[in-house]
């Protein structure tokens, strides 16, 4: 298994670090929802859409999940792709289960994200994404771990088994060889 690198920032960076993946904010109570132009300007090959809901007890999981699915469809994100549900430090199993069931029905995966002090009290869905500043590797309970903060952005590692939104064009099909 290979490990991919990821950066995320509330606002897209003019000169982002060279990483394999960029986490993009798509809604909820995110500080800034990235525009299509901001997403397209990213150099990283892979995208990881993130819905932020740090106050899930005060939110409607059905409305949030349907809004995320609409955002994914509007941005032509292929089915099967992982998304992040950023819970910060919230514990809300009912919200997470409801949200994830709608995303799963639409064909997407859900990675609950948050502090290790609370994350594991939420359902695992398709794999945890932990926030562990100073971590030396991906937490064994997780498929991704945020390990660093560089002032204006965070750095994470993600297992290459996570299905990501791939923006690379498909490889060309080889031309058939002429018959002898």
Provide block-wise average pLDDT over 10 residues at a time, the chain (180 residues). 95 95 98 96 97 96 98 97 97 98 98 97 98 96 97 97 90 70
Structural domains in the chain plus CATH codes: 3-166 (3.20.20.80)
**CB 123 within 8 Å of CB 93:** yes
Task: Give 73-121 pLDDT, tens digit per residue.
Answer: 999 999 999 999 999 999 999 999 999 999 999 999 999 999 999 999 9
Single out the residue of 77, 84, 71 nearest to residue 35, CA to CA: 71
| List of long-range contacts for 120-124, beta carbons under 8 Å, 24+ apart | 121/91, 121/93, 122/87, 122/90, 122/91, 122/92, 122/93, 122/96, 123/93, 123/96, 123/97
| Radius of gyration for the alpha carbons in the chain, expressed in angstroms and rounded | 17
pLDDT confidence of residue 163: 97
For residues 144 and 157, the answer to whether their CB atoms sit within 8 Å is: yes
> What is the distance between the alpha carbons of residues 25 and 93, in angstroms, rounded to a whole number?
22
- Whether the pTM exceeds 0.75: the reply is yes
Give percent of the chain with pLDDT exceeding 70: 97
Given this model, what pLDDT does residue 171 score? 67
The confidence score (pLDDT) of residue 123 equals 98
């Amino acid at each position: 298994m290979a490990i991919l690198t990821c950066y995320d920032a509330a606002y897209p960076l003019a000169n982002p670090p060279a990483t394999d993946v960029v986490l993009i904010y798509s809604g909820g109570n995110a500080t800034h929802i990235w525009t299509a132009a901001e997403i397209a300007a990213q150099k990283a090959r892979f995208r990881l859409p993130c819905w932020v809901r740090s106050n899930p007890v005060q939110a409607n999981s059905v409305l949030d999940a349907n809004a995320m699915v609409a955002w994914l469809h509007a941005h032509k994100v292929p089915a099967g792709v992982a998304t992040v549900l950023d819970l910060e430090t919230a514990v809300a199993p009912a919200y997470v289960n409801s949200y994830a069931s709608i995303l799963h029905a639409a064909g997407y995966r859900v990675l609950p994200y948050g502090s290790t002090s609370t994350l594991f009290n939420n359902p695992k869905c398709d794999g945890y994404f932990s926030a562990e500043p100073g971590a030396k590797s991906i937490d064994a309970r997780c498929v991704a771990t945020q390990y660093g903060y560089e002032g204006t952005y965070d750095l994470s590692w993600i297992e290459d088994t996570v299905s990501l939104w791939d923006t690379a064009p498909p490889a060309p099909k080889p031309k058939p060889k002429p018959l002898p």
